[in-house]
Amino acid sequence: MRSFLIFILISINLTTFCAAQEGEDLFTLLDTTIEAPPLLPERMVFTQRALWGEKGIFRLTGVSLLNIEQRQKELKVRRAMLTTHQLLGYATLAAMVAQGIIGGKLYNGDYDLYELHKTMGDVVNIGYFTTAGLSLFAPPPLINKKVRGFSSIKAHKILATVHFSAMVATNFYKDKNTEIHKGAAYTAFGSYALAVLVFKF
Protein backbone atom coordinates (compact mmCIF):
# COMPACT_ATOMS: atom_id res chain seq x y z
CA MET A 1 0.00 0.00 0.00
CA ARG A 2 2.84 2.33 0.92
CA SER A 3 4.58 1.61 -2.39
CA PHE A 4 1.35 2.34 -4.24
CA LEU A 5 1.02 5.75 -2.51
CA ILE A 6 4.64 6.62 -3.31
CA PHE A 7 3.99 5.64 -6.93
CA ILE A 8 0.90 7.91 -7.11
CA LEU A 9 2.78 10.86 -5.56
CA ILE A 10 5.64 10.46 -8.02
CA SER A 11 3.15 10.22 -10.92
CA ILE A 12 1.34 13.41 -9.80
CA ASN A 13 4.64 15.30 -9.48
CA LEU A 14 5.80 14.14 -12.89
CA THR A 15 2.46 15.05 -14.49
CA THR A 16 2.53 18.52 -12.87
CA PHE A 17 6.13 19.05 -13.96
CA CYS A 18 5.40 17.97 -17.55
CA ALA A 19 2.28 20.14 -17.72
CA ALA A 20 4.26 23.12 -16.46
CA GLN A 21 6.99 22.41 -19.01
CA GLU A 22 4.44 22.13 -21.82
CA GLY A 23 2.83 25.39 -20.69
CA GLU A 24 6.19 27.15 -20.68
CA ASP A 25 7.07 25.68 -24.06
CA LEU A 26 3.72 26.76 -25.47
CA PHE A 27 4.15 30.34 -24.25
CA THR A 28 7.73 30.38 -25.50
CA LEU A 29 6.51 29.16 -28.88
CA LEU A 30 3.79 31.82 -28.96
CA ASP A 31 6.28 34.55 -28.07
CA THR A 32 8.60 33.55 -30.90
CA THR A 33 5.98 32.96 -33.61
CA ILE A 34 3.61 35.88 -33.12
CA GLU A 35 5.12 38.88 -34.82
CA ALA A 36 3.78 42.22 -35.90
CA PRO A 37 2.58 42.18 -39.53
CA PRO A 38 5.08 43.68 -42.00
CA LEU A 39 4.50 47.34 -42.79
CA LEU A 40 5.81 47.03 -46.36
CA PRO A 41 5.25 44.36 -49.01
CA GLU A 42 8.18 42.24 -50.21
CA ARG A 43 7.49 43.17 -53.85
CA MET A 44 7.48 46.84 -54.84
CA VAL A 45 7.91 48.79 -58.06
CA PHE A 46 11.42 50.31 -58.22
CA THR A 47 9.98 53.84 -57.91
CA GLN A 48 8.02 52.87 -54.80
CA ARG A 49 11.09 51.25 -53.25
CA ALA A 50 13.17 54.37 -54.01
CA LEU A 51 10.63 56.64 -52.29
CA TRP A 52 8.73 54.50 -49.77
CA GLY A 53 11.04 51.53 -49.04
CA GLU A 54 12.73 51.02 -45.67
CA LYS A 55 15.70 53.01 -46.96
CA GLY A 56 13.68 55.13 -49.36
CA ILE A 57 14.03 58.89 -49.71
CA PHE A 58 10.93 59.67 -47.62
CA ARG A 59 12.17 57.42 -44.78
CA LEU A 60 15.73 58.74 -44.74
CA THR A 61 14.65 62.40 -44.85
CA GLY A 62 12.00 61.90 -42.14
CA VAL A 63 9.17 63.07 -44.41
CA SER A 64 7.32 59.80 -43.79
CA LEU A 65 8.56 57.57 -40.98
CA LEU A 66 7.88 53.84 -41.17
CA ASN A 67 5.28 53.09 -38.50
CA ILE A 68 1.67 51.86 -38.35
CA GLU A 69 0.08 55.30 -38.07
CA GLN A 70 2.07 56.68 -40.98
CA ARG A 71 1.36 53.63 -43.14
CA GLN A 72 -2.37 54.12 -42.55
CA LYS A 73 -2.01 57.68 -43.85
CA GLU A 74 0.04 56.44 -46.80
CA LEU A 75 -2.67 53.95 -47.75
CA LYS A 76 -5.20 56.81 -47.87
CA VAL A 77 -2.79 58.77 -50.08
CA ARG A 78 -2.40 55.66 -52.26
CA ARG A 79 -6.16 55.32 -52.70
CA ALA A 80 -6.50 59.00 -53.65
CA MET A 81 -3.59 58.80 -56.11
CA LEU A 82 -4.90 55.64 -57.81
CA THR A 83 -8.43 57.04 -58.04
CA THR A 84 -7.02 60.19 -59.67
CA HIS A 85 -4.86 57.95 -61.90
CA GLN A 86 -8.01 56.21 -63.15
CA LEU A 87 -10.02 59.40 -63.73
CA LEU A 88 -7.13 61.21 -65.41
CA GLY A 89 -6.59 58.08 -67.51
CA TYR A 90 -10.07 58.44 -68.99
CA ALA A 91 -9.52 62.14 -69.67
CA THR A 92 -6.17 61.38 -71.34
CA LEU A 93 -7.81 58.72 -73.52
CA ALA A 94 -10.39 61.29 -74.67
CA ALA A 95 -7.57 63.76 -75.44
CA MET A 96 -5.79 61.02 -77.44
CA VAL A 97 -8.92 60.45 -79.53
CA ALA A 98 -9.15 64.18 -80.26
CA GLN A 99 -5.42 64.27 -81.06
CA GLY A 100 -5.85 61.33 -83.44
CA ILE A 101 -8.68 63.06 -85.31
CA ILE A 102 -6.66 66.28 -85.62
CA GLY A 103 -3.55 64.36 -86.62
CA GLY A 104 -5.46 62.44 -89.29
CA LYS A 105 -6.71 65.68 -90.84
CA LEU A 106 -3.22 67.17 -90.67
CA TYR A 107 -1.74 64.18 -92.50
CA ASN A 108 -4.47 64.56 -95.15
CA GLY A 109 -3.25 68.07 -95.98
CA ASP A 110 -5.11 70.39 -93.57
CA TYR A 111 -1.96 72.19 -92.41
CA ASP A 112 -3.96 74.91 -90.64
CA LEU A 113 -4.33 72.38 -87.80
CA TYR A 114 -0.58 72.11 -87.16
CA GLU A 115 -0.53 74.44 -84.12
CA LEU A 116 -3.66 72.83 -82.67
CA HIS A 117 -2.03 69.42 -83.19
CA LYS A 118 1.04 70.55 -81.25
CA THR A 119 -1.10 72.02 -78.46
CA MET A 120 -3.15 68.82 -78.17
CA GLY A 121 0.11 66.88 -78.14
CA ASP A 122 1.19 68.88 -75.09
CA VAL A 123 -2.18 68.24 -73.42
CA VAL A 124 -1.89 64.49 -74.09
CA ASN A 125 1.71 64.41 -72.79
CA ILE A 126 0.83 66.25 -69.58
CA GLY A 127 -2.18 64.01 -68.98
CA TYR A 128 -0.35 60.82 -69.88
CA PHE A 129 2.83 61.32 -67.85
CA THR A 130 0.89 62.71 -64.86
CA THR A 131 -1.33 59.62 -64.96
CA ALA A 132 1.74 57.37 -65.13
CA GLY A 133 3.41 59.23 -62.26
CA LEU A 134 0.36 58.82 -60.02
CA SER A 135 0.68 55.05 -60.39
CA LEU A 136 4.47 54.76 -60.26
CA PHE A 137 4.99 57.05 -57.26
CA ALA A 138 2.00 56.04 -55.13
CA PRO A 139 2.82 54.49 -51.74
CA PRO A 140 2.96 50.67 -51.90
CA PRO A 141 0.11 48.47 -50.66
CA LEU A 142 0.42 46.40 -47.49
CA ILE A 143 0.52 43.15 -49.48
CA ASN A 144 1.66 42.67 -53.07
CA LYS A 145 1.52 38.94 -53.75
CA LYS A 146 2.47 37.50 -57.12
CA VAL A 147 -0.71 36.13 -58.71
CA ARG A 148 -0.35 33.02 -60.85
CA GLY A 149 -1.93 32.89 -64.27
CA PHE A 150 -3.20 35.71 -66.45
CA SER A 151 -5.32 38.52 -64.99
CA SER A 152 -6.61 41.95 -65.94
CA ILE A 153 -3.96 43.56 -63.71
CA LYS A 154 -1.16 41.66 -65.48
CA ALA A 155 -2.60 42.62 -68.88
CA HIS A 156 -2.81 46.26 -67.72
CA LYS A 157 0.87 46.19 -66.67
CA ILE A 158 2.04 44.56 -69.91
CA LEU A 159 0.10 47.08 -72.00
CA ALA A 160 1.48 49.89 -69.82
CA THR A 161 5.00 48.88 -70.84
CA VAL A 162 3.95 48.98 -74.51
CA HIS A 163 2.16 52.34 -74.44
CA PHE A 164 4.85 53.96 -72.27
CA SER A 165 7.54 52.96 -74.78
CA ALA A 166 5.32 54.08 -77.66
CA MET A 167 4.69 57.46 -76.01
CA VAL A 168 8.43 58.03 -75.57
CA ALA A 169 8.97 57.07 -79.24
CA THR A 170 6.11 59.36 -80.36
CA ASN A 171 7.75 62.32 -78.68
CA PHE A 172 11.26 61.41 -79.79
CA TYR A 173 10.34 61.11 -83.49
CA LYS A 174 7.81 63.96 -83.75
CA ASP A 175 10.29 66.25 -85.54
CA LYS A 176 12.58 63.52 -86.93
CA ASN A 177 10.51 60.94 -88.79
CA THR A 178 6.83 61.45 -89.63
CA GLU A 179 6.07 57.79 -90.36
CA ILE A 180 7.67 56.44 -87.19
CA HIS A 181 5.97 59.22 -85.20
CA LYS A 182 2.61 58.26 -86.69
CA GLY A 183 3.12 54.52 -86.10
CA ALA A 184 4.26 55.09 -82.52
CA ALA A 185 1.28 57.37 -81.87
CA TYR A 186 -1.19 54.73 -83.11
CA THR A 187 0.59 52.05 -81.06
CA ALA A 188 0.43 54.28 -77.97
CA PHE A 189 -3.27 54.97 -78.47
CA GLY A 190 -4.21 51.34 -79.20
CA SER A 191 -2.31 49.85 -76.26
CA TYR A 192 -3.45 52.65 -73.93
CA ALA A 193 -7.12 52.15 -74.88
CA LEU A 194 -6.77 48.40 -74.31
CA ALA A 195 -5.08 49.00 -70.94
CA VAL A 196 -8.04 51.14 -69.85
CA LEU A 197 -10.54 48.54 -71.10
CA VAL A 198 -8.91 45.47 -69.51
CA PHE A 199 -8.59 47.23 -66.17
CA LYS A 200 -12.24 48.27 -66.34
CA PHE A 201 -13.60 44.87 -67.27
> What's the pLDDT tens digit per position in 66-78?
999 999 999 999 9
- pLDDT, one tens digit per residue, over 135-174 is 999 999 988 777 677 788 888 889 999 999 999 999 999 8
One DSSP character per residue, 131-179 reads HHHHHHTSPP-S--PPPPS--HHHHHHHHHHHHHHHHHHHHHTTTT-HH
Assess if residue 69 is contained within a domain.
yes
- What span, in angstroms and rounded, lies between the C-alpha atoms of 137 and 89? 16
Together in a domain, 12 and 52: no
d(CA 67, CA 86): 28
Residue 8 has pLDDT above 70, yes or no: no
Number of domains comprising the chain: 2
Q: Are residues 13 and 109 in the same domain?
A: no
The pLDDT value given to residue 175: 84
- 11 shares its domain with 73: no
Predicted confidence band of residue 14 (pLDDT cuts 50, 70, 90): very low
Sequence-separated (6 or more) residues with CB below 8 Å from residue 165: none
Residues 122 and 155 in one domain: yes
Prediction pTM value? 0.73
CB atoms within 10 A of CB 90: 13
User: Based on the domain organization, do 16 and 56 belong to the same domain?
Assistant: no
Instruction: State the Cα angle at 155 between 78 and 174, rounded to 5°.
Output: 85
Residues 119 and 31 both lie in one domain: no
Calpha distance 50→59 (Å, rounded): 10
Residues 58 and 100 in one domain: yes
Q: pLDDT digit string (tens) for 20-46?
A: 444 444 444 455 555 667 888 888 889
- Judged by DSSP in three states, 34 sits in coil
Q: Is 103 a domain residue?
A: yes
